Amino acid sequence: MRLANKVAIVTGGSRGIGLAIARRFASEGAAVVVGDLDLEAARLAAAELEKLGVGAEAVKCDVAQTEDAELLASHALNRFGRIDILVNNAGITRDRLLLRMSESDWDVVIAVNLKGAFNCTKAVAKTMLRQRSGRIINIASVVGLIGNAGQANYAASKAGVIGLTKSLAREMAGRNITVNAIAPGFIETKMTEDLPESVRQAFMSRIPLGRAGTPEDVANAALFLASDESSYITGQVICVDGGMVM
């Protein structure tokens, strides 16, 4: 029960990495608010979490919209009275080589992946500053560190998330709020299931541990960053990538 009495918000928490994080947090005693575009999917996730004996709430939220992010935070505060942990996990891809990448491919990826993290962090910041404690965990990507052909928009958004992480870590440290990022490598989720076999193989050949990651691998790192055990760690990027980037 490493997160007993804690309240967590997980964006994009109804499937994939976000759902694995929500499950892991709930299994350690945290109440979890799942924010997702798809309310039905978020409700299903919240119902599953409640079976673990914790409070859970589903909120329809497009993280790219400022008002939605504010609504997500106020739901958490109204229902549970505090916010201890925010996981900025919601993310999308619109992969194309530069000359084929439209302005809207660029804009929507930056809006969800980067502005979404800004919106949600801003929405919880007042509460965490007042509480004088908090944990913010941003799900970045190894692509934000090393780049990837065909993902200029996504890589830029994830590199931006890393800059956001480090700046806010400095800004909020004085109030006992830590801000860290996780950079997953190749993780088996809906986001990666449609990749062509050649791209999959190219990724696999670069993973020293010789396997794709699971959402649970990422969730374990998130649990550590959310728990008291990481209280002296802030502004860091932890790669969960089987050794792909080192």
Active-site amino acid positions: 154
Whole-angstrom CA distances from 2 to 43, 173, 185 are 25, 22, 26
Identify which of residues 64 and 164 has a Cβ nearer to ligand NDP in the complex: 64
Dihedral (Cα; 238, 198, 110, 67), 10-degree rounding: -80
> Cβ of residue 232: shortest distance to ligand NDP, in angstroms?
25
User: What is the spatial distance between Cα 171 and Cα 7, in angstroms, rounded to a whole number?
Assistant: 22
Contact between 37 and ligand NDP (CB under 6 A)? yes
**Contact flag: residue 242 with ligand NDP (CB under 6 A):** no
Q: Describe the crossing of helices 215-226 and 16-27 by its angle, rounded to 10 degrees.
A: 50
Residue 134 within binding range of ligand NDP, rule CB under 6 A: no
Binding ligand NDP (rule: CB under 6 A), the pick from 73, 112, 137, 155 is 112
- Closer residue to ligand NDP, CB minimum distance, 38 or 50: 38
Choose one: 21-29, 61-69, 127-135, 165-173; the region binding ligand NDP (CB under 6 A): 61-69
Q: Select from 44, 71, 92, 195 the one that contacts ligand NDP (CB under 6 A).
A: 92
Query: Per CB under 6 A, does 59 bind ligand NDP?
Result: no
Sheet with 177-184, strands from edge to edge, namely: 56-60, 31-36, 7-11, 85-88, 134-139, 177-184, 237-240
Sequence-distant (6+) residues with CB within 8 A of 99 are none
How many Å apart are CA 224 and CA 138, to the nearest integer?
Answer: 13
Using the Cα atoms of residue 112, residue 115, residue 117 and residue 119 in order, give the sign of their dihedral: negative
Tell me which of 76, 127, 152, 184 binds ligand NDP, using CB under 6 A. Answer: 184
Shortest distance (Å) from residue 20 CB to ligand NDP: 8
Residue count, binding to ligand NDP (CB under 6 A):
30
Tokens 């619109």 correspond to 94
Residues lying near ligand NDP in the complex (CB under 6 A) are found at 11-12, 14-18, 36-38, 41, 61-64, 89-92, 112, 116, 139, 141, 184, 186-187, 189-192
